[in-house]
Structure formats: C-alpha cells, structure tokens
Amino acid sequence: MTPQPVLLALKRMLAMRHFKRTETVDGVIDTRALEEVGLTEAQAQEMYRYLAIANYEDRFVVPSSHREQAREAFPEKNGCGFSFGDGCHGSDTKFNLFNSRRIDSVDVSSKTEPHA
C-alpha cells in the first residue's frame, strides 16, 4: 500500500500553514504553495477554520438553564445513548450514520482475559 494519500494530506496541511503564516505575519497573500498541492485560497481558509483552535466562545458548553430548574440526572445513569433502534437494542433499519459495514459484536475475551 502506497502512502501517497497521507503524503498529499500532509503536504496540503503544510501549504495551508505556510499560506496562513505569510498572510498573518507578513501581510502578503502567497498562493504558490497552495497551487503546488492543488488547493485554492478558499479551500485553505476552510481547512484553517476546521483545523485551528476553536474560538473562545466555542470551547465551553455553558448550560442554557438554571441548575435548580433542571431535572435530576441520576435516573438517567447507564441509560441508552443515540440509536436508531428501540432504545439500547439494535434496529432493523438499513440506515447507517457512519457509512460503514455494521459489526454487531466482536469476541475479544481471549485477548482481554489475564493469563494464568
């Protein structure tokens, strides 16, 4: 297996960083590195937006309600999370959120049990 996609991704990240550095520090728009890896200025800006540190207001989740008005969370402990089926169980739906083959269970007991 060739590492070409990985190398291209790393080169694109370096080109994006070079572009943003020259834009921020030097005040110059230099798209030569972007052109070498097949990126546009808009794509580099979008990459930077997704890969950079989040804005301060996006870093923390502030509750939108008062604690005294919130319901008790203890009964929800060990409850089911997000699912398309009937609660914690699987579903009959063919929809797959993650666009991959569904694996119901994997036996890992031989790998997790301590040896005597």
Band (10; pLDDT cuts 50, 70, 90) = very high
d(CA 98, CA 43) in angstroms, rounded, equals: 24
**Cα–Cα distance measured from residue 18 to residue 32, given in angstroms and rounded to the nearest whole number:** 10
Instruction: Compute φ and ψ for 42, nearest 5 degrees.
Output: -65, -40
11-54 fold = nitrate reductase domain fold (1.10.3650)
Confidence of residue 27 (pLDDT cuts 50, 70, 90): very high
Q: Where are the domains of the chain?
A: 11-54
Tens-place pLDDT, residues 32-82: 999 999 999 999 999 998 888 877 777 777 767 777 777 776 776 666 666
